[in-house]
Structure 1
Amino acid sequence: MTAKQDIVFELEEHPFAQYVRILGKGKNGSRPLTREEAYASMKMIMAGEVEPVQLGAFMMLMRVKEETREELAGFIEATRDSFQLPTGMAEVDLDWSSYAGKRRHLPWFLLSTLLLADNGIRVFMHGAGGHTSGRIYTQDVLRFLGIEYATSFEQAAEQIKQTNFSYLPLEFLCPKLHEIIELRPLMGLRSPVHTLARMINPFDAPNVMQGIFHPGYKSVHQEAAMLLGQKNMAVIKGEGGEIERNPDIVCEVKGLHEGELFEETWPALFKQRHVKETELQPERLAQLWQGEIEDEYAVGTVTATTALALKLMGKAHSVDEAQAMAESLWSNRDKTKYGVN
């Protein structure tokens, strides 16, 4: 080797680089990940084997193209496989995600889940909070109902055994996904984690409720759930993106019944729309439950959302029967519960 010859060091490619390249190779060279590739890439992310710059690039490339049902199924499988679940885990009837937060109306759907729990349905709720300004989130509102959220799978399982309800924040359920969701203020955009977190169903409940904001995501949720072998699920464009049926408008539902795809339309409960709340006061949730205030829109929301779950679970066989059953459950609720002394 002469003094004039250059010494070239060839750096070894990072193992995760292949997945960034698949997504970002250009208009003609890029393609979606296969289900197997999605699984492998998310497995590396869950294990902390990805550099921050790779993670940011990967998530934003996925955001631009939007995730396919195969990619979503692979991501969910890898996420589930990363969990360390307790032995003797509690059985759950209904998985309910809460990741959007509310800004126009209070989260009346919380009363729907408690109404179901009070009538023997074991509900596991998971979600995240604080990632979008101007919204109120479930884990911050629960205290107004006198409910403590769980901080571990074990505590969640015990709460379900005791009360048929538990809420476990994503930061305790899956710290890595929570870390990625918290990047939203930095990136300025949501990532695929907002979609897959809604679908992780960690307790493997046979019934799953999901709410989305963008209607186009309903089919992706529905078809990914089918790939994953989910038995019963329903996804709606919920109020604010949460699993909450707006009783003022028609609700289009997509989902699975015994593993088969279905679509159905639920009519509005009211002929005229209600004026939105001027100020969100979480204490009104307990006041409505205890019968201290009257609010036609709120009660309509609670019963309409409850009805969706009842029909999904086979407790009712028609839209009208489900709505009548939900209204009966609401009328006969124990009004002494869910308040702060």
Structure 2
Amino acid sequence: MSLAGHVATLGRGPGRSRSLTQDEARDAMTLMLGKDAAPEAIGALLMLLRMKGETAEEIAGFAAAAQEQAPALPRVDLDWPSYAAGRTRGLPWFLVSALMVAQSGKRAMLHGWNGSDPTVRNGLETLGIPIAHTPAEAEAALNAGNIVYMPLENLCPPLMHLLSLRAVLGLRSCVNTVCRMLNPAGAAASVQGVFHPSYRLLQADAAQRLGLRSLTVIKGGGGEFERHPAKAIEAFGLRDGAPWQETEAARLEGTRRLADSARPINSLKVAVSPAALPRFESEIILGTAHLAMDTLGCADSPLHFPDGTHASTSLPLTA
């Protein structure tokens, strides 16, 4: 079917329009990622989905087509997307959590794009997490340290183009969710953050349709997979391929926002050694790492800070 045909399916009007099936969504995304799709049709389809609200079938179909466009990559244990704009969060402490997962022996691939906010990519450089632009660079980084970050613009340029249409259309589209579901290295486990809680179940349902075995989705700091230590966290996703939901108790007492303390990016270096790390930031890192390890089925495995210091993930509630 042409892209115009898919637009017609979505936009025929009350009583006649309907959502796309998973196969139709896969075909539509394949067309949008190609070179011949009319930009007017792409914009129409994305905005019709925005008005209607995307379904799990549509997200799964779109993500499957996008996965076909990504290059062949070395397999990893954990997929960690990062696509939040960062306006409501502090420093990306979750990057330290990802490092801790890698130090446990699990291979983790981060990938993403954060709009005009350079904080995450500056944090990668500060912490020494390799940024790979090719599959060969990714494999070398994973073999050396079990962790790598791939920019979306290198990973899948056509999908990056669709994501960038937000500046043209003026609104977020379903492409933001598709990017989170990309899982370019075919990991069996994924951790995902959302800003709007309603997307947690949508992404869990789409992940199940894509055959993911384990997934944890939370409303995280600024939309990233990063838990707030002073709040109970509702987690949704999959375990052994089946729907799963759990509430994790707060790790700290008190009230505070993640972005309350503005700090320079070099402050992330403090997290390499926990002795100089404030308790609140330490609990951001440990709580996020614990959720990631639980997603991998390794909740009881020991964790260490980047300097080798043993980290407990079951500290008592404290003020």
- Higher deviation after alignment, 283-292 or 209-218: 283-292
Shift of residue 129, structure 1, vs aligned partner = 2.5
Question: Pairwise mapping of residues 36-185 of structure 1 onto structure 2 (< 5 A)?
Answer: 36-85=23-72, 89-103=73-87, 104-131=89-116, 135-185=117-167
Shift of residue 278, structure 1, vs aligned partner = 4.0
Structure of higher RCO (CA pairs closer than 8 Å, 6+ residues apart): 2
Alpha-carbon distance in structure 2 between the residues aligned to 1:66 and 1:283? 40
* TM-superposition CA deviations, 1:49-104 (whole Å, max 9, x none): 2111111111111111121011111111111122331xxx4230100000004233
* TM-superposition CA deviations, 1:206-233 (whole Å, max 9, x none): 1111111111111111111111111111
For residue 285 of structure 2, what is the aligned residue in structure 1? 302
Alpha-carbon distance in structure 1 between the residues aligned to 2:269 and 2:307? 16
Q: Which runs of 5+ in 1 are unaligned?
A: 1-13, 336-341
1:25 alignment partner, one of 8, 12, 28: 12
Task: Give the TM-score normalised by structure 1.
Answer: 0.85
Alpha-carbon distance in structure 2 between the residues aligned to 1:194 and 1:94? 20
Alpha-carbon distance in structure 1 between the residues aligned to 2:121 and 2:113? 8
Alpha-carbon distance in structure 2 between the residues aligned to 1:279 and 1:332? 24
For residue 226 of structure 2, what is the aligned residue in structure 1? 244
Alpha-carbon distance in structure 2 between the residues aligned to 1:125 and 1:81? 18
Q: Which runs of 5+ in 2 are unaligned?
A: 311-319
Alpha-carbon distance in structure 1 between the residues aligned to 2:226 and 2:194? 10
Alpha-carbon distance in structure 1 between the residues aligned to 2:69 and 2:189? 22
Question: Pairwise mapping of residues 259-338 of structure 1 onto structure 2 (< 5 A)?
Answer: 259-274=241-256, 276-291=259-274, 293-316=276-299, 325-326=302-303, 329-330=304-305, 333=308
- Higher deviation after alignment, 153-162 or 250-259: 153-162
- Equivalent residue pairs, number: 308
Change (3 A) 1:137 1:187: farther
Change (3 A) 1:147 1:308: closer
Q: Sequence identity of aligned pairs in percent? A: 36
* TM-superposition CA deviations, 1:271-297 (whole Å, max 9, x none): 102354342411111122135733221
Alpha-carbon distance in structure 1 between the residues aligned to 2:296 and 2:283? 20
Whether the 8 Å contact between 1:130 and 1:137 is mirrored in structure 2 is no
The Cα RMSD (Å) is 2.0
Alpha-carbon distance in structure 2 between the residues aligned to 1:76 and 1:99? 15
Change (3 A) 1:292 1:283: farther
Alignment-mate amino acid for residue 247 of structure 2: T
Question: Pairwise mapping of residues 179-258 of structure 1 onto structure 2 (< 5 A)?
Answer: 179-258=161-240
For residue 315 of structure 2, what is the aligned residue in structure 1? none
